[in-house]
Amino acid sequence: MKIGFIGLGIMGKPMVKNILKGGYTDILVNGRHEDVLAELEECGAVSATYREIGEQCDVVMTMLPNSPEVMDVMFGENGVAQYMHTGSILIDMSSINPVATKEIAAKLAAQGIDMIDAPVSGGEPKAIDGTLSFMVGGTESLVEQYTPLLRTMGASVVRCGEVGAGNTTKLANQIIVACNIQALSEALTLAKKAGVDEELVFQAIRGGLAGSTVMEAKAPMMLSGNEQPGFKIDLHVKDLNNVLDCAASVGANVPMTERVQEVMKWVQNHDGGQKDHSAIYEWYQE
């Protein structure tokens, strides 16, 4: 199996390294930064153009910021899809609007090309250690066929339904993560204003019902002022925009999402777009 991987950012680079470690050594990569390409070449990958990836690869994997970038890479000028062959597959691991996912899948199907959407949760730390959670949309047979490949990067691979179901599930995930971070920020702010040590509050409640993966990852960052991104505000704003667009199209009420999006946008508009999404704690401090 020859694999092409496009999108070598915070998540993509370590994901490629884990694919290589997992025994899939015939891999072409494409990204914007020469230093990242050089680093991955040292690990065994080969830099390639869109055309080379489309013509040579059985599997094309994308890890890109949003729907427009995926559409451009696949169908723009010199896009990959025009070079792909019948029977090949796109595995899009980007977090995008499921409406766009279905549109991409339909265009590829017209060319005899398969697709599954497999967005991830876990951020940079889990991308590095290969324990991401994959939420997958596609036919049962395709998901089963490519689960071993996804498991080189993740601890969990769950099929959620047909194409588009993966990204719908990811939107649900992003609602829960964002609202958890906001609730944590609000709780720690209450403690601080009441004159109680926030660190002790965290230690007291982390083992109870309020404890969560979000709390374990983000409370220490908030308390230490660490804003190095595991997942950027800019990207979470993008995801919540997709939530709101999708919610409008299906008639779902999402008032909590609307509120946390306002807070995230405040941080984004105060030079915080590249900070970790836990930086919404700043809004409460302000």
Active site residues: 170
Three-state SS for 215? Answer: helix
Rg for the chain (alpha carbons), in Å?
20
State the alpha helices, DSSP H only, in the chain.
12-21, 34-43, 50-56, 67-75, 98-109, 123-129, 140-150, 165-193, 198-205, 213-224, 233-250, 255-267, 281-285
CA–CA distance, 278 with 225 (Å, rounded to integer): 10
Which is it for the CA torsion 168, 100, 80, 83, positive or negative? Answer: positive
Tell me 197's DSSP state: -
Q: What is the dihedral of CA 117, 123, 127, 132, to 10 degrees?
A: -60
